[in-house]
Structure 1
Amino acid sequence: MGRGKVNLKRIANPVSRQVTFSKRKAGLLKKTCELSVLCDAEIALFIFSPTGKLYEFGSPSMNKILGRYQRCCTSQEYYPKTADMEVLRSELEHLENSIGGLEKRQKHMIGEDLDSLSFKELQCLERKMEKGRKRIHSKKEKILGEHILMRKKLGGQHNVEAPVKIIDTVNTDPLESDGVNLSANLNLSLS
């Protein structure tokens, strides 16, 4: 049967406090030694009793561990170098500027924040958007054509489905350069 949970507060009785300190200190030193042996870890432990007495444990030795600690803390490798920090700051600034530029381009592509653009920049943006629109239109035609072929094949296999009419969902934007809409090009419907 396990022990109940001990309430962690200062023990008022000095004798009980000293007994608890001695027992817990012994347990802590034992666990520290076990951790060092089991995991091959270098460990230093300092304990000062309520009366001011020092207890210590060092594996492999206290002097070796303290020397290693001092070398580590005074080493330039332990602290980030100023030059490295400057490089990181510069890179962060560059990335923030890139993000700002991309956000601005995205707004332009959806027709927002156009007041800052010159006439030539607007023409360039219009050409880019037109190329993108044509690529989208072409992809939609390809998908629709594949869909029509698949429906014809399924219809040829005596597939009993509700009649399907292909409705033009392709761009009917008046800005379309060829002025012809896809349903007129395909002139197809399946019944």
Structure 2
Amino acid sequence: MLVGDLGSHTTCRKMVRGKIQMRRIENATSRQVTFSKRRNGLLKKAYELSVLCDAEVALIIFSQKGKLYEFSSSNMQKTIDKYRGCVKEDQRSDQDIEKYVQELKLEAINMANTIEFLEASQRKLLGQDLGSSSLEELQQIDSQLERSLTNVRARKTQLFKEEIERLRAKEMLLLEENARLSQKCGLESWHAPAKRKEIGSCSQSTQSSEVETGLFIGLPETRVLEYRRF
């Protein structure tokens, strides 16, 4: 029974209060009462926040008639000075960011103009879009092409010289390798003539012995004549 009465009382209070609309209270008396209640509640919350959380809290309230109400957990003037310093730093940071953004935008514009100029110059060097070029611009393009052609030819000549030097070095290596192989082959061929010489001497001695030991039929005088004939 007690619980029921309590629930009914709470429901009635909610129905009576309802939802407060966030707008200016037109009735002056109700507005003053609301200001007093909420002002005291706000000051109490500020005090509780400073004590519970060890925070530096400063609260300033001006009524509609200009009356001042304030709360400070330490010193109001020091807190205000600290606040001004933080605001200046934030403003300075915002200004620095804005300045940096402006510099980036300007740099982007300059880069875009540079790219456009380079593309136009490239097209002219390729012989395109020359109708709007003056005689002086054409002479400058011609001079630039001549310088570029000279640089290309010089680079080409340098590459040719480097290639020739590389081929000469390779030729020297091949000649040295050829001489080494020829020397090696010469040592092997030196033994072959010696063997052939020995075989030749043996055959000659054999032939001479055959001549000397040949058989003749007849008188000794005939044999002498035969020797003389040979």
Return the TM-score normalized by structure 1.
Answer: 0.42
Which fold has the larger relative contact order, with Cα–Cα distance below 8 Å and residues 6 or more apart in sequence? 1
Question: Which structure is larger by alpha-carbon Rg, 1 or 2?
Answer: 2
Return the TM-score normalized by structure 2.
Answer: 0.36
